[in-house]
Copies of this chain bind each other. A is one copy, B any other.
Amino acid sequence: MPYETASVSERRTLPPAVAVSTVAFALNPPDGALIGEAAASPDAGADARITLWLPLVRRTRAPFLGRWALPGGPTRWDETLADTALRTLHAAVRRDPGYLEQLYSFGGVERSAEAQRLVTIAYWALYGERELLASPLPAAGTAERGQDRGRARRWDDPEPAETAAESGDRPGTQGATAPGDPDPNVAWFSADRLPELAFDHAEIVAYALARLRSKTEYEAVAHRFLGPVFTLGRLRAVTEAVLGETVDPANFRRQALAQGHLVDTGETETGTRHRPARLYRFREDPPTRPPGHPGRPAAPHDPAPRSAV
């Protein structure tokens, strides 16, 4: 095992470690999840405006011991970078996101001062209501992700560990917490009020936020925060929350429908104290539009290898 036995000075000559970190947004923390900082329950706050939340993981190792960090970890030899993002995200959140896209790669030499060089490929992800409502806690002993089991080494044994709670495996498997209890080293924070983050993760979060906003402006992503069916009013509320500004309902409706992605389900909302709204579903490929419209002229920047999970 040459890697583990190398001294710190020898590690300087080793190839850099490759890790993946993910900024995962959701409109609300999932039920039962720990809430960071403000300590108030998500709905208890005086203002009912929608805000973005994201999960963080507390580091249990140096450097940045005790600090909050993005979920992530090193990539394994037989898994793609996206797979690493999904695996480490699932280890922290216990759910798979509805959307995942590569963000940027950070490889500055200042990232790990004395230890081995660390290159981080950052991803960003979205959790929709569908994903967050799914039952998060499988019965004890159920191996839902086989490759998570039976590995001998914790990934953060060597010095340049990134986050921490990936070490937690499934709650209960290590006996540290009772089955069903949330991992105490994972909590959700409002994107507005994040704690001090480890490494350069604050920069990564800021970049992911900018990416989410810009993508919301020219491409349909807001619907991924919601469930399979939704009203236009809800979609607009999400868009406003992401963009941080109000949007004219009439114009928003026209633009959204003109995209061709929204399919009227024929059903309507019930139980509101106002006129019930139509429910729409999202269709991936817009129908062929009337001749003369060659469809969207391709997004300004479409990352080629993208994956909608």
Contacts from A to B (Cβ < 8 Å): 1-3, 5-6, 10, 12-18, 74-75, 77-81, 102, 104-109, 116-117, 119, 121, 203, 206-207, 210-211, 214-215, 217-218, 297-305
Contacts and interface: CB of A to CB of B under 8 A. Distances in A.
Contacts of A13: 1, 3, 77
A165 to B, nearest CB: 21
B104 A16 contact: no
A305 B77 contact: no
Contacts of A78: 109
B77 A16 contact: yes
Nearest to A6: B2
Contacts of A218: 300
B304 A104 contact: yes
Contacts of A2: 2-3, 5-6, 10, 14
Contact of A117 (B77, B107, B211): B77
10 contacts: A3-B15, A13-B77, A14-B15, A16-B77, A77-B116, A81-B119, A104-B304, A106-B305, A206-B304, A207-B305
A179 B23 CA distance: 51
A236 to B, nearest CB: 19
Number of copies: 2
Contacts of A210: 302, 304
B80 A214 contact: no
A289 B108 CA distance: 36
A303 B301 CA distance: 10
A114 to B, nearest CB: 11
Contacts of A302: 210, 214
Contacts of A117: 75, 77
Given A2-B2, A13-B77, A104 B301 contact: no
A80 B102 contact: no
A211 B301 contact: yes
Identify the interface centre among A15, A78, A207, A297: most chain B CB within 10 Å of its CB. Answer: A15
Given A6-B2, A13-B1, A305-B104, A109 B80 contact: yes
Contact of A105 (B5, B16, B81): B81
A303 B102 CA distance: 12
